[in-house]
Amino acid sequence: MSLEDEILRQRLTRTREIEALGFPPYGHRFDYSHTIPEILAQWAETPAEELDRQPVRVRVAGRIQTIRRMGKAGFAHLQQNGERLQIYVRRDTTPEADFTLYKKLLDIGDIIGVEGRLFRTRTGELSVWVEKLYFLAKTLLNMPEKWHGLEDVETRYRQRYLDLIANPEVRRIFITRSRIVASLRRQLEQRGFIEVETPMMQPIYGGATARPFVTHHNALDIDLYLRIAPELYLKRLVVGGLERVYEINRNFRNEGISTQHNPEFTMLEFYQAYADYNVLMDFSCELLERTAVDATGSSRVVYQGQELDFSRVQRYRLREALIEFWPGGDKPRPENLADPDWLNRHSTKPTPGEQLMEIFEEKIEDRLVQPTIIYEYPVETSPLSKTKPGDPAFVERFEIYAAGMEIANAYTELNDPQEQRRRFEAQLELRARGDEEAHQMDEDYLRAMCYGLPPTAGEGIGIDRLAMVLTNSKSIREVILFPLLRPEPPLGLAERLRAAEKETGG
């Protein structure tokens, strides 16, 4: 018999023995007096004599992390909310059944409750002297090892619950991520933005350049696309008079998976009527600094050994950044950036704007380690942005970079329906030439715009990437609880459970 099946049988047998002792093997409600972190915080400094003189009674619950049994007494560590508290069980100060439960039937990973008083051991560790035990849930499978935790990356992602139990830093990452989202929501709400939800299944996908996932609705017999961006719906709402809206939700892009890309990822998009991209640049700086402080306690965070300072976000025009951050000696001069010969030497793209962007992405992007705003983008690559007055080759758009990654994209929204129609038509030509990612014509969006979209600025912030930067994570999969993986082959677990139940007389 394999070890796993042997353990399964042992533990099922124990489950019955626990029941025979008078404990429900899967308990019900347990009202604890404190969480383990609360106990550790509240009595961290209390000396042993004071705990003895004025006993503190507590009821706590947790998962057994370690267990050390001696003949007539023993210790265990309970884990709750990422922290652990030691318990002490003695034969002469615990009911007989409770001691038997502790001595014979508990396994690492079981969830129990205890009642008792706080004391300090000889070595000074704050512990609970147990007077009563409660059994709350049995673990039927072996837990990961206690020193190294769980390191196999695939198992960590597939069985994230084990990762969270075994690796406290993983728990911290997701708590930080939650704080980031909470901070962004709070700040937007404070400024009068309202949160909305727009379709994730869309008949026409738009708002970004990407390949979509396709699905089918049976009753209507239509194909729908999982959204690649919420942008066009959010701007319809601005037309409708919801002048400050935001949405935090998933986008889906049917493209490669990498340390910076997951097929579904979380985006904050917000739109502010009567503003332009300059307003959003200032707002973004405040937003990011505040978020960094709320999530990590500081506006300066360390990412892969480098300190990033969110209190001083630098700003460069795209064309300035090309010169400023150019790697190596052949630094371009301002006039080069408008010179077709120079552009052709450095890029194979067909238009000057696309060439500029390609060169930027290739040479500059990964050098933007400090939080940096890059602004004024070529019109060709920005079909939904408003052009710069007096310079129609460029649009009022900016992106924010940090740790060499794009984490935000924003612009003054194009609100002239005729101009928008022409941009869509240009995209259709690209599509006709085989560019699967070119935007589709969205006539309903055009119709909304024909009713009048106020001057508006909008921005999207990639929550996963921001979380990477603020949690010092090298891979996007470290900040997504369940990143997309190829499905596992069948486990056969149901079969094994059934066999074990039969054999142990269930």
Partner RNA sequence: GAGCCGGUAGCUCAGCAGGUAGAGCAUCUGCCUUUUAAGCAGAGGGUCCUGGGUUCGAGUCCCAGCCGGCUCACCA
Q: Taking CB under 7 A as the criterion, which residues in 484-503 touch RNA?
A: 485-486
Per-residue contact string for residues 423-442; x = within reach of RNA by CB under 7 A: --------------x-----
List the structure tokens of 8.
């399964």
Please list every residue from 33 through 72 that binds RNA, using CB under 7 A. Answer: 66-72
Residue choice 32, 99, 134, 157 for contact with RNA (CB under 7 A): 157
Interacting stretch for RNA, rule CB under 7 A, among 1-9, 32-40, 54-62, 193-201? Answer: 1-9
Whether 127 contacts 68, CB under 8 Å: no
Q: Distance (Å, rounded) from C-alpha 219 to C-alpha 221? A: 5
Cβ nearer to RNA, comparing 361 with 425: 361
Secondary structure of 343-363 as H, E, C letters: HHHHCCCCCHHHHHHHHHHHH
Cβ nearer to RNA, comparing 316 with 360: 360
Min separation Cβ 164 and RNA, Å: 14
Per-residue contact string for residues 105-124; x = within reach of RNA by CB under 7 A: --xx----------x-xxxx
Per-residue contact string for residues 373-392; x = within reach of RNA by CB under 7 A: --------------------
Residue 4 is a binding residue for RNA (CB under 7 A): yes
For the chain, counts of helices (H) and of strands (E): 16, 19
Residue choice 51, 111, 136, 150 for contact with RNA (CB under 7 A): 150
| Total residues belonging to the chain | 506
Residue 75 is a binding residue for RNA (CB under 7 A): yes
Cβ nearer to RNA, comparing 13 with 293: 13
Segments in 273-363 forming alpha helices (H): 277-296, 318-324, 340-346, 352-359
Q: Distance (Å, rounded) from C-alpha 78 to C-alpha 325? A: 52
Q: Beta strand pairing status for 214-217 and 300-303?
A: unpaired
Min separation Cβ 482 and RNA, Å: 12
Q: Distance (Å, rounded) from C-alpha 211 to C-alpha 232? A: 16
Please list every residue from 163 through 182 that binds RNA, using CB under 7 A. Answer: none
Interacting stretch for RNA, rule CB under 7 A, among 195-203, 318-326, 389-397, 404-412? Answer: 404-412
**Is the dihedral angle over the CA atoms 313, 318, 323, 326 positive or is it negative?**
positive
Min separation Cβ 218 and RNA, Å: 28
Please list every residue from 346 through 365 that binds RNA, using CB under 7 A. Answer: 361-362
Which neighbouring-strand residues pair with 333?
Answer: none
Identify which of 205, 33, 194 has the alpha carbon closest to the alpha carbon of residue 116: 33
- The residues, any chain, with a CB within 8 Å of residue 155's CB and separated by 6 or more, are 162, 163
Which neighbouring-strand residues pair with 226?
Answer: 201
Per-residue contact string for residues 285-324; x = within reach of RNA by CB under 7 A: ----------------------------------------
Residue 1 is a binding residue for RNA (CB under 7 A): yes
Per-residue contact string for residues 250-289; x = within reach of RNA by CB under 7 A: ---x-xx-xxxxxx-x------------------------
Min separation Cβ 150 and RNA, Å: 5
Q: Distance (Å, rounded) from C-alpha 96 to C-alpha 17? A: 14
Identify which of 187, 171, 169, 157 has the alpha carbon closest to the alpha carbon of residue 461: 187
- Cα 30 versus chain centre, distance: 31
Please list every residue from 445 through 474 that binds RNA, using CB under 7 A. Answer: 462, 464-465, 474
**CB burial string 156-179: b at 16+ within 10 A, e below:** bbeebebbbbbbeebbebbebbeb
Cβ nearer to RNA, comparing 156 with 319: 156
Min separation Cβ 175 and RNA, Å: 21
Identify which of 16, 214, 227, 203 has the alpha carbon closest to the alpha carbon of residue 104: 16
Min separation Cβ 319 and RNA, Å: 19
Interacting stretch for RNA, rule CB under 7 A, among 5-13, 217-225, 271-279, 368-376? Answer: 5-13
Residue 219 is a binding residue for RNA (CB under 7 A): no
- The residues, any chain, with a CB within 8 Å of residue 209's CB and separated by 6 or more, are 437, 438, 439
- How many residues interact with RNA (rule CB under 7 A)? 75
Per-residue contact string for residues 178-207; x = within reach of RNA by CB under 7 A: ------------------------------
List the structure tokens of 260.
């910076």
Residue 504 is a binding residue for RNA (CB under 7 A): no
Cβ nearer to RNA, comparing 3 with 494: 3
Min separation Cβ 129 and RNA, Å: 7
Q: Distance (Å, rounded) from C-alpha 256 to C-alpha 473? A: 19
Q: Distance (Å, rounded) from C-alpha 398 to C-alpha 319? A: 12
Residue choice 15, 79, 127, 347 for contact with RNA (CB under 7 A): 127
Going from the C-alpha of 179 to that of each of 176, 182, 467, 474, the distances in angstroms are 5, 5, 10, 19
Residue 393 is a binding residue for RNA (CB under 7 A): no
